[in-house]
Amino acid sequence: MNDALVSPAKEFGREIRIAREARGWSQARLAEEMHFQQPYVSKVETGQQLASAQFAEQCDLAFGTPGVYARMRQRAADAGSPVWFIPYLQLEREAASICDYSNAFVMGILQTPEYAEAVYRSARPKDSAAEIKRLVDERMRRRELFEAPDPPSLWVILHEAVLRSQVGSARVMQGQLRHLLAASEVPGISLQVFPFQAGTPARGVAFNVLTRQNGSEVLYEETYQRGRVDDTAEVVAEARAAYERLRAEALSPTESLKLITHVMEAHAHEDHPRYLPHGMGEIQLQPRERRPMRRMGPRVRGLRRRPRPGQQAP
């Protein structure tokens, strides 16, 4: 792997090693002080693994440096992300609530590693396996958001197309939808599905509205090449109104979980039925119940020849 790709993790590990040696501690002593395993400390110091947020917090406690290593570790975690995406990551970590609408893929923070890998492989076919793994690992680290003492509430609306489109393979989709069902059981996380029969959604692109701790709101949306953060009052108000329309037209959380379960089972059997389960959508007519097709276009009368003199009409 290119050293530039791992240098943030190596730099963080080097700082931990310097601080440990300055105190005359062995790796085993540091591991004992922090309640971590010694092999984990070794991997962090050598840069083989970027430390977890909890590890960095324990470093601050062990070394008596309030917040220093936590901030250092966060900068290392953000270093591999595009510059334009880092402001959003900061907002995500500090948000009181996040309302997301996704119409192509499951939002990143709820993706499984296999699903995320399939997304990246499709979008970046020239990247090496090592680079794809790095990107997937970075995406998985965003889950730490819900391990914080006061995580934000998360409300996600998924277009039905997200559930039915096969990303990776049927097995990958089955695992992803099972993960969504499990996520819905986490306090503070709610899921809704915007069904096909609801018609045209209030907004044609994926976006989310983040609410800060002080109550102010920010819009985040992605274009083809990058994303943008906008806190203009009029823009945010329009996005919030669109989100409320999407929420009103989506299935209820209970019905949404039923649909997710149904589609998950369809992926498990590599079968994608057009119709929803009984009671959730259209009912397929049996052959003898089908209505005859109406004739389309103008009705044209056939031409009749006039009989010649002395000839009888047919």
Closest CA to 62 of 26, 38, 30: 30
pLDDT at res. 66: 83
CB 73 within 8 A of CB 50: yes
Cα–Cα distance for residue pair 240/219, rounded to 1 Å: 9
Closest CA to 36 of 12, 62, 15, 10: 62
**E strands present in the chain:** 97-102, 153-159, 189-194, 207-211, 217-222, 227-230
pLDDT for 219-275, tens place per residue? Answer: 998 776 677 888 899 999 999 999 999 999 999 999 999 999 999 999 887 644 444
* Burial per residue of 4-24, b for 16 or more beta-carbon CB atoms within 10 angstroms, e otherwise: eebebbbebbebbbebbeeee
- pLDDT digit of tens for each residue in the chain (314 aa)? 444 444 567 778 888 888 888 888 988 888 888 888 888 888 888 877 777 778 888 888 888 888 887 777 777 766 656 665 677 778 888 899 999 999 999 999 999 999 999 999 998 999 999 889 988 988 898 888 887 778 899 999 999 999 999 999 999 999 999 999 999 999 999 999 999 999 999 998 999 999 999 999 999 987 766 778 888 999 999 999 999 999 999 999 999 999 999 999 998 876 444 445 545 544 343 443 443 444 434 443 444 555 555 555 55
The pTM score is 0.67
Closest CA to 164 of 262, 283, 279, 280: 262
